[in-house]
Amino acid sequence: MDAVSVIVKGLNRLLRENKSRFRSTFRQGQMYNNNSRGIPCKDKKGRKRPVPFDHGQDLMGAFRSVRFPGMTGQVTFDKWGQRIGTWSRQGGLIVETERRIQQVTKEKPGNKTRIVTSILREPDDGIPLFGNDRYEGYCAELAAEIAKIVGFDYIIRLVKDNKYGSRLDDGNWNGMVGELSRGPFMSLGISIMIKKPEKQKPGVFSFMDPLSYEIWLYVILAYVGVSVVLFVVSRFSPYEWQIEDSVNGPTFTNDFTILNSLWFALGAIMQQGCDISPRLVWTAGALLPVVNVVRPACHVCAGRRAVVPAGGGHSRARGHPPAGIFADPARTGSADASRPRRHAGINARASSSVGSRSISGRIVGGVWWFCTLILISSYTANLAAFLTVERMLTPIESADDLAKQTVIQYGTLSSGSTQNFFKKSEIPVYERMWTYMQSAQPSVFVDKTNEGVQRVRDSKGKYAFLLESTMNDYHNQLKPCNTMKVGGNLDSKGYGIATPLGSSLREPISVAVLQLRESGVLQKLHKKWWYDKGECGGENDAKSSKQSALTLSNVAGVFYILIGGLALSMITSVLEFVYKSRVETKRQKKTFSTSAVRTKAHMANRNSQDGENGGVASQSMPVHVSTSTVPIARSSAVSLV
């Protein structure tokens, strides 16, 4: 009963620390160990070589930490997992004698000169000089740090067969093999190396990239829809209609024509707003706004002018309103009433953010302003990232992507732990990858790591190399800097320091490795030999800081739109001029000719000069159009801007 309680309490403790700890072990009702189904006591060849359980060390640690009063007494374990003692009413407390599984030789680490074996390989070691100074690199500095902490002398000696070690058929091992320390000094796994894709050059209209084409389409549709709705509600609402007094009598007008509605909606998108232009007239010797006569400055015609009849020069000189404003023809005389007059405009502007006077129109404007606020804010927030960061589209992101396609070949070293991983794996994705690698022609396997890296560089993106993540990171920092690591590691393992069985250095080295890890020395060494001494700019590529400034290619489309808009406005102006001249000519029942256009242009020039001299040019066309110059009576007026 106590044994079951120990197991339950230990498992509960592990699951409280990490609920997904055993997720990779139990999959679809099956148990996996080291990516193999089940925990067989024999290997595939029938030899008794049981594979340790993935979570064995974690379970032992959890079981040793369990303490509770059980049916057999107080349940407590020592560091070796042995019961410390039992207690009963009859026998009392019985303490077990401490037993150790393995008796370690008690000798001082500093009594001998140790041999540190290594393999000459990038990025771990280099050469020249003599003794230990002949080698430099991560492993060389790691050995020096450990020797400093533990306190022993050592010499570095390369492995003769240049192998890390594997078990032979007779049970012996070659290369560097022993009992590994409890804690690895570096974690690694199988990773994918591909050729770095070419960086995309920014397009002419790259400033549109922050929003998808679908959103741009919806914005255009919303813009048109809001304009139409605003036009419709303004037609139905009585508050949008105004009465204007004119020489010909009162007229009803509505500011929100379809063109004005489009202009209003566009102003909201551009966050420019819309002003109101109250029309001012002379009355009783003072300037007062005409009741119910308000013209938005965003009017397509840039605001209409209040038409004021020009009176005699005497009254204008004295500052009185010109004769004829709201004047009764009977009081001013029949001659003045019947005589046609020219009119000059008086215009005053006042700023306001409201264009619509009806509640329905303001509701339309309010929701449209809110919509454009969110859109413009989102666009602005993403614009800098899209214009300053060069994006690379990688065809492969994970091992699943490799397994689902056959265009990009992939392979490993012809022998080694990486190949054995795929050969023995029972995970469906890795099984498919191994089947492909075996049948691929030409062969996707290489004899050396450098050959695989060079094949990636020469394949133009059609070959991916599967290798240990540490070697992947190192080669990615070598010129010509055209390889990269994609996705996460396919498995997880660690580099450890091997010692002979029963060596007195085993525990001191394990403690030293832990101290170096906790103090950050291992991380500093890794950064130094993988990135600081790299040839491609380190972990944080310095090239990114140089690309923070925008180039012309990023925003060329903006200038193209500006130039196109200016050209379109000039063409439109000419067409308006020609169209208006033709209409006026037809109205006067005159034949449109080149001479008429020339005469109108000449008259427009004279009117412009009159406006510069203090007068306001008349908006009406000349009564007669001919090749000769037509004299025009000028009337002074007041213009308030």
- Per-residue pLDDT for 316 more than 70? no
150 and 165 inside one domain = yes
Q: What percent of the chain lies above the pLDDT cut of 90? A: 3
Could you give the 3-state DSSP secondary structure of residue 403? helix
340 and 467 inside one domain = no
- Per-residue pLDDT for 458 more than 50? yes
Q: Which residues touch 185 (CB under 8 Å, ≥6 apart)?
A: 142, 494, 495, 496, 497, 513, 516, 517, 522
> For residue 591, is it within any domain?
no
Q: Which of 95, 121, 150 is the last residue of a domain?
A: 95
The H-assigned helical ranges of 552-638 are: 552-587, 594-612
- Per-residue pLDDT for 346 more than 60? no
pLDDT band at 456 (very low <50, low <70, confident <90, very high): very high
The type of residue at 358 is: S
Closest CA to 406 of 462, 466, 485: 462
Q: Please report, for residues 48, 244, 386, 535, the alpha-carbon distance to residue 473 in angstroms, rounded to integers and kept in the order given.
A: 37, 79, 27, 12
**How much is the pLDDT for 455?**
92
Q: Which residues does residue 281 pair with via DSSP β-bridges, in sequence order?
A: 288
**How much is the pLDDT for 108?**
52
- Per-residue pLDDT for 344 more than 70? no
26 and 125 inside one domain = no
Q: What would the pLDDT profile of 108-147 be if each residue is shown by its tens digit?
A: 555 566 666 666 655 544 444 555 666 777 778 888 888 8
Q: What is the DSSP letter of 195?
A: E
Residue 194 and residue 483 in contact, taking contact as beta carbons nearer than 8 Å? yes
pLDDT band at 334 (very low <50, low <70, confident <90, very high): very low
- Tell me phi and psi for residue 463, to 5 degrees: -145, 135
> For residue 588, is it within any domain?
no
- Lowest-confidence pick of 14-18, 56-60, 91-95, 529-533: 91-95
148 and 273 inside one domain = no
> For residue 338, is it within any domain?
yes
**How much is the pLDDT for 445?**
92
- Per-residue pLDDT for 493 more than 50? yes
34 and 79 inside one domain = yes
250 and 227 inside one domain = yes
Q: What angle do CA 348, 350, 353 make, to 5 degrees?
A: 145
Our count of domains for the chain comes to 4
Which tokens belong to 177? Answer: 């093999």
Q: What would the pLDDT profile of 236-245 be if each residue is shown by its tens digit?
A: 888 778 887 7
**How much is the pLDDT for 621?**
42
Average pLDDT over residues 421-428: 87
Which tops the pLDDT comparison, 621 or 73?
73
- Per-residue pLDDT for 330 more than 50? no
Q: Which of 495, 512, 527 is the last residue of a domain?
A: 495
> For residue 578, is it within any domain?
no
230 and 375 inside one domain = yes
Average pLDDT over residues 205-228: 85
- Per-residue pLDDT for 25 more than 60? yes
Average pLDDT over residues 307-316: 38
The H-assigned helical ranges of 318-416 are: 329-332, 334-338, 359-388, 399-403
Q: 337-340, long-range: CB within 8 Å, 24+ apart, which pairs?
A: none
- Per-residue pLDDT for 591 more than 60? no
227 and 350 inside one domain = yes
Which tokens belong to 227? Answer: 């304009």
> For residue 39, is it within any domain?
yes
Could you give the 3-state DSSP secondary structure of residue 400? helix
Q: Which residues does residue 157 pair with via DSSP β-bridges, in sequence order?
A: 117
**How much is the pLDDT for 299?**
39
The H-assigned helical ranges of 105-164 are: 138-150
Residue 517 and residue 187 in contact, taking contact as beta carbons nearer than 8 Å? no
Q: What percent of the chain lies above the pLDDT cut of 70? A: 57
Q: What would the pLDDT profile of 31-82 be if each residue is shown by its tens digit?
A: 777 667 777 666 656 655 666 777 777 888 888 888 888 777 778 777 667 7
Q: What angle do CA 455, 461, 464 make, to 5 degrees?
A: 55
> For residue 265, is it within any domain?
yes
**How much is the pLDDT for 533?**
78
Which tokens belong to 157? Answer: 């000696």
The secondary element (H helix, E strand) that includes residue 546 is: helix 543-546
> For residue 522, is it within any domain?
yes
- Per-residue pLDDT for 588 more than 50? yes
- Per-residue pLDDT for 436 more than 80? yes
346 and 421 inside one domain = no
503 and 450 inside one domain = no
Average pLDDT over residues 157-174: 64
**How much is the pLDDT for 538?**
58
Q: What is the DSSP letter of 105?
A: P
SS (H, E, C) 28-57: CCEEEECCEECCCCCCCCCCCCCCCCCCHH
24 and 157 inside one domain = no
How far apart are alpha carbons 455 and 138 in whole angstroms? 27
pLDDT band at 105 (very low <50, low <70, confident <90, very high): very low
Average pLDDT over residues 399-420: 87
How far apart are alpha carbons 481 and 302 in whole angstroms? 59
380 and 413 inside one domain = no
Which tokens belong to 573? Answer: 């102006």
**How much is the pLDDT for 162?**
64
Q: What is the CATH number of the domain that holds 468?
A: 3.40.190.10
Residue 616 and residue 639 in contact, taking contact as beta carbons nearer than 8 Å? yes
**How much is the pLDDT for 582?**
84
Residue 394 domain boundaries: 190-197+390-495
**How much is the pLDDT for 274?**
62
- Lowest-confidence pick of 80-89, 261-270, 391-400, 541-550: 541-550
How far apart are alpha carbons 70 and 186 in whole angstroms? 41
- Per-residue pLDDT for 462 more than 70? yes
> For residue 124, is it within any domain?
yes
Q: Which of 549, 583, 611 is the last residue of a domain?
A: 549
Q: Tell me the pLDDT of the chain averaged across its residues.
A: 69
